[in-house]
């Protein structure tokens, strides 16, 4: 019975997986041309929070870079990207940093979800401040 099910479903499952992988890059990206700049600002803010909290600076910089890119992507979805919201930027940064902390892993007090969220919120707020103070 198992061989019959494998022969019936496996080829169609493989074809569906292959089709979804090939169609994935056809979707437009939500980030704008300043995603690298926002990632660098987020990484800088993450490194500073790492220094202030006594945690690993490189891990915090990586989490901050992801938070900066996520904030950029969230604002790329707006109709008017200049109309930014600091609370949204902080929450998006906190969520992205928390998920990155789960992926990166680690031990100790520095890899708690609350610490990752604070790091991401600081990075998201830094990107917000950077974008609002830039001359267009």
Confidence of residue 62 (pLDDT cuts 50, 70, 90): very high
Nearest-angstrom CA–CA distance, 79 and 15: 37
| Percent above pLDDT 70 for the chain | 71
Helix (H, G, I), strand (E, B) or coil at 78: coil
The pTM for the full model equals 0.72
For the ranges 18-27, 74-83, 113-122, the maximum mean pLDDT occurs at 113-122
113 domain residue, yes or no: yes
The per-type count for the chain, helices as H runs and strands as E runs, is: 5, 0
Q: Do 31 and 75 touch, CB atoms closer than 8 A? A: no
127 has pLDDT over 60 = yes
Six-digit token string for 33: 């041309």
Q: What local confidence, expressed as pLDDT, does residue 23 receive?
A: 46
54 domain residue, yes or no: yes
4 domain residue, yes or no: no
The residue with greater pLDDT, 58 or 21, is 58
55 domain residue, yes or no: yes
Q: What local confidence, expressed as pLDDT, does residue 64 receive?
A: 92
pLDDT tens profile 13-49: 555 554 444 444 444 445 567 888 889 999 999 999 9
What one-character-per-residue DSSP string does 15-63 give? HHHHHHHHHGGGSPP---TTHHHHHHHHHHHHHHHHHHHTS-HHHHHHH
Domains held by the chain: number: 1
18 domain residue, yes or no: no
The domain of 126 spans: 35-133
8 domain residue, yes or no: no
């Amino acid at each position: 019975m198992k061989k019959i099910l494998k022969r019936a479903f496996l080829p169609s499952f493989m074809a569906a997986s292959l089709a979804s992988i090939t169609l994935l890059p056809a979707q437009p990206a939500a980030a704008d041309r300043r995603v690298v700049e926002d990632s660098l600002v987020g990484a800088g803010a993450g490194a500073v929070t790492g220094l202030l909290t006594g945690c690993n600076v490189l891990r915090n910089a990586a989490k901050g870079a992801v938070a900066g890119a996520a904030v950029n992507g969230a604002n790329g979805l707006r109709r008017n990207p200049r109309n930014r919201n600091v609370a949204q930027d902080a929450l998006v940064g906190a969520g992205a940093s928390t998920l990155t902390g789960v992926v990166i892993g680690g031990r100790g007090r520095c890899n708690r979800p609350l610490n990752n969220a604070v790091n991401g919120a600081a990075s998201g707020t830094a990107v917000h401040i950077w974008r609002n103070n830039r001359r267009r």
